[in-house]
Structure formats: structure tokens, C-alpha cells
Amino acid sequence: MLHVKKGVTVNRPREDVYQFWRDLENLPRFMQHLEMVEAADGGRSHWVAKAPGGKTVEWDAEIIEERPNELIAWRSLAGSDVRNEGAVRFTQAPGDRGTEVHVELLYDAPAGRAGATIAKLFGEEPSRQIRDDLRRFKQVMETGEIVRSEGNLEGAGQGVLKQRAAQAPEAEARP
């Protein structure tokens, strides 16, 4: 299994950050690879995610440990397309600067190491996804939206592989 650890500091109270994350159906708002999360009874949920090559993968998961405002730990259930487990920890940031969010993920890539290599080529490698997801999470929590602009490839809708040269806005363009 691949092991990924990432973190971010969010300038919001720990209770707010935890509550937003704990509503699992919020996760596709900032996790770009997720198409849907459907929460069910008993801490279970159904997940649908984008995979390389325009495919999707699905899995069911259960929360195996939860401490309000501190920790959510989960694992996928038997029969899932993607075997994964992990935890999200919420701690008070030093200097009263909000909440530190730490994600730890153990992930079994579809098609094993070959699948992990293909995912990297398409810019869908888990470490990068989690880093980008946490950056978007911070934006959602602090501003209420994800900031997109022509200045970044995500905002231009071009993904990681397609790029174009920077251009001056129409009003500033010179002959």
C-alpha cells in the first residue's frame, strides 16, 4: 500500500473545520477527483471517484474511530475497487491561528504499482491530489469558495498536461 501524509493550517475554529469535513457529502466540493460521496447509517458511506483514462472507481467505507473535533479514521470495506484506510486529525494551530488538519492515507492503487505509475503520468498521484485537495479545502473554509483564475491551470480548465503562454487582459493588450 502507498502511504501519504499531508497537512494544512486553516484559519477557522477546530469545531467548524471538523464539522464541515465530518459531513462526508461536502468532500467532493474540494476533492477534485471525487464525483460523489453518499453517507449512510452507522458511519458507512459510498464513494465514486474519477480514475485515469476517464474511468471511475467505487468503494464503500466505514468510520472506525471518531473523536469529535479531533479525529476521523476510516477504512474501505471488502469488495471495494480501491482499498484504502486512513485518518484526518484536527488540532489547534499554534498562536491561535486556527486549525491544523493532518491527513494520513494508506492506499492500494488499482492495478498495483503499474496503476500508480499511470496515475502519476496523468497527474493523479495520491500525494499530489491530497496536497491540492487540502489547498482547496483551506480556500473553501476561509473564503467560502475555491479561487480559480486563468493564472493557474486548474482554473483555466486545462489540467496538468496542457499549458499556454500567459496573455495580457484585453484592456491591457498592446498592438
Q: Is residue 149 part of a domain?
A: yes
**What is the dihedral sign for C-alpha 89, 94, 99, 104?**
negative
Beta bridge partners of 132: none
Residues in the chain: 175
Q: Is residue 150 part of a domain?
A: yes
Q: Is residue 43 part of a domain?
A: yes
Q: Is residue 168 part of a domain?
A: no
Report the domain count for the chain.
1
Q: Is residue 172 part of a domain?
A: no
- pLDDT of amino acid 150: 55
Tens place of pLDDT per residue across the chain (175 aa): 688 999 999 999 999 999 999 999 999 999 988 999 999 999 999 999 887 778 888 999 999 999 999 999 999 999 888 889 999 999 999 998 999 999 999 988 665 554 554 445 445 567 788 999 999 999 999 998 887 665 554 544 444 434 444 444 555 444 4
- pLDDT of amino acid 114: 46
- pLDDT of amino acid 149: 61
Q: Cell 453518499: give the residue.
A: 38
Q: Is residue 169 part of a domain?
A: no
Task: Report the CATH number that the domain containing residue 14 is assigned in CATH.
Answer: 3.30.530.20
What residue numbers bound the domain in which 95 lies? 2-162
- pLDDT of amino acid 173: 46
